[in-house]
Amino acid sequence: MISTLIALPYELARLPLVIVDSTLSDRLPETSGPRVTLDRTIGSADKIAGALLGNRELARRGADRIERTDKLLTALRLEQEAAARREQARTTAAAGRQEATRKRRTAQERAASGLDEADAAEARGKLEAKAKATKTAAATKAAASKRAASRTATVEQRRARADSAAEAKKRAAQQAAEAELDDARETKQAAAEARADAERLSDLTEATKQERKEG
């Protein structure tokens, strides 16, 4: 009773801050600069006044208000980090897909060029075999066809290796993007838990105020 009477002048002195806080609560989010500054100011004043007046409830009310503000700011920071990670993951995935597409197109162009060269070589071999004619015509033509087939196989192998490398690059980019998305989801979950803690603390503070009023 005596502690309550001693704290009464302080409660009257802090009333303007409470009115301002009530006004801002209808206009600004809890994590806005003015709300955070005011909450910390009121919380610090309550905590100091409670210590000076020997009023534990007042001191605890100030500490709870400061702690709740800190938890809300932590939740906001974690949410922002989660959003940044999600955006980075999307950017990484898009870049990986573009790089894989570019490499696959380049490989296909090189393969097509190699096939054209093989066709040209085959044609030259046939012309040479026909020009020589006579007894060696059949043997020359067979050798030219064999060389052309070998070049074609080499080009096909080169194209297969290029496609395999491009696909591996694409899978690696997708795995990296998925890992970053997992990190973003974990960060978002942490933010949700921090916000839940803040809400529970707020409910507890409100319940304490109600008990004091009813008492």
Structure confidence by residue, pLDDT tens digits, 98-152:
998 999 999 898 888 877 787 887 888 788 878 776 778 678 888 888 888 888 8
Give the CA count within 13 Å in the CB-facing half-sphere of 111: 16
DSSP string over 53-68: HT-HHHHHHHHHHHHH
Give yes or no for a contact between 36 and 73, defined as CB atoms under 8 angstroms apart: yes
Tokens of 120: 């040209």
Measured distance CA(51)–CA(10) in Å, rounded: 12
Question: What's at 50, amino acid-wise?
Answer: G
Query: Which residues have CB under 8 Å from 53's CB, separation 6+?
Result: 3, 6, 7, 10
Q: What is the mean pLDDT of the chain?
A: 83
**Domain spans in the chain, listed from the N-terminal domain onward:** 2-214
Per-residue model confidence (pLDDT) at position 2: 41
The string of pLDDT tens digits covering residues 28-57 is: 777 888 888 888 888 888 898 888 878 888
Give yes or no for a contact between 159 and 110, defined as CB atoms under 8 angstroms apart: yes
Which residue is associated with the tokens 């801002």? 24
What does the angle CA 61 – CA 62 – CA 66 come to, to the nearest 5 degrees?
A: 115
Buried b (16+ CB within 10 A) or exposed e, 110-131: ebeebeeebeebbeebeeebee
Q: pTM score, two decimals? A: 0.37
Measured torsion, CA atoms of residues 157, 158, 159, 162, in degrees rounded to the nearest 10: 120
Give yes or no for a contact between 194 and 39, defined as CB atoms under 8 angstroms apart: no
Tokens of 21: 């806080």
Question: How far is CA 148 from its chain centroid?
Answer: 52
Measured distance CA(10)–CA(12) in Å, rounded: 5
State what percent of residues in the chain have pLDDT above 90: 20
11: left (phi over 0), alpha (psi -120 to 50) or beta: alpha
20 confidence band (pLDDT: 50, 70, 90): confident
